[in-house]
């Protein structure tokens, strides 16, 4: 089992959680004068990058709650399930939950990027950073099945059989 993968997944989950939390906070504290602006000067007139437009668009909430809040909750879960101790867990359920969450998160990213491009016609840099974090997480998890504690326990069984065979 590699040690870097759980650590990298945890760090990326924390980064995703940080941005999603910021966007949730921004949603609820949006003032009467301004909206959340993109970093690095994005959002100038005529630019495809416009965080305010995306974050106040009709796609910015689902069932009355900001999408960012769902993202924050998702990343709280991802932080928990990507902790090294959870990667070491021999539970098949934990491994499947992690994989399922990564796939579901990636599916949500596809939906949100589609909405940005086809529905709002603008890109939000903050949102894009979260999408990149999720993509990295997805790749780490999807290629890391053999690094799970469950897989390790299976290897142990096989090794034991091998020893017995000899």
Subset of residues 2 to 21 that bind other proteins, contact rule: CB under 8 A:
none
Burial environment of residue 163 by CB neighbours within 10 A (0 to 12, 13 to 18, 19 or more): exposed
In terms of phi and psi (left: phi > 0; alpha: psi -120 to 50; beta: otherwise), the region of 25 is alpha
What sections of the chain are H helices per DSSP? 4-29, 51-55, 67-81, 84-87, 92-114, 125-142, 149-165
Q: Which stretch binds other proteins (CB under 8 A): 3-11, 16-24, 74-82, 98-106?
A: 98-106
The distance of closest approach from Cβ of residue 115 to other proteins in the complex, given in angstroms and rounded to an integer, is 7
Residue reference for tokens 């059989």 = 161
Task: Output the smallest distance, CB 91 to other proteins, in A.
Answer: 8
Binding residue for other proteins (CB under 8 A) from 7, 61, 83, 139? Answer: 61
Neighbours of 115 (CB within 10 A): 17
Residues in the interface with other proteins (CB under 8 A) total 65
Tell me whether residue 35 or residue 83 sits nearer to other proteins (CB atom): 35
Q: For binding to other proteins (CB under 8 A), which residues are involved?
A: 27, 30-35, 37, 44-48, 50, 52-53, 56-64, 89-92, 96, 99-100, 103-104, 106-107, 110-111, 114-115, 118-122, 142, 145-146, 149-165
């Amino acid at each position: 089992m590699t040690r870097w993968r759980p650590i990298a997944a945890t760090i990326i989950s924390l980064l995703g959680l940080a941005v999603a939390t910021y966007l949730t906070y921004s949603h609820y504290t949006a003032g009467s004068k301004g909206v959340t602006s993109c970093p690095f000067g994005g959002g100038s007139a005529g630019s495809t990058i416009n965080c305010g437009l995306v974050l106040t668009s009709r796609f910015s909430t689902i069932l009355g709650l900001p999408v960012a809040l769902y993202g924050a909750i998702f990343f709280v879960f991802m932080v928990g399930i990507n902790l090294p101790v959870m990667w070491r867990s021999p539970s098949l359920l934990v491994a499947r939950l992690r994989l399922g969450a990564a796939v579901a998160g990636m599916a949500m990213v596809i939906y949100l990027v589609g909405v940005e491009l086809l529905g709002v016609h603008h890109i939000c840099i903050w949102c894009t950073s979260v999408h990149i974090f999720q993509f990295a997480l997805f790749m780490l998890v999807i290629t890391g099945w053999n690094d799970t504690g469950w897989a390790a326990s299976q290897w142990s069984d096989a090794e034991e059989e091998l020893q017995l065979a000899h």
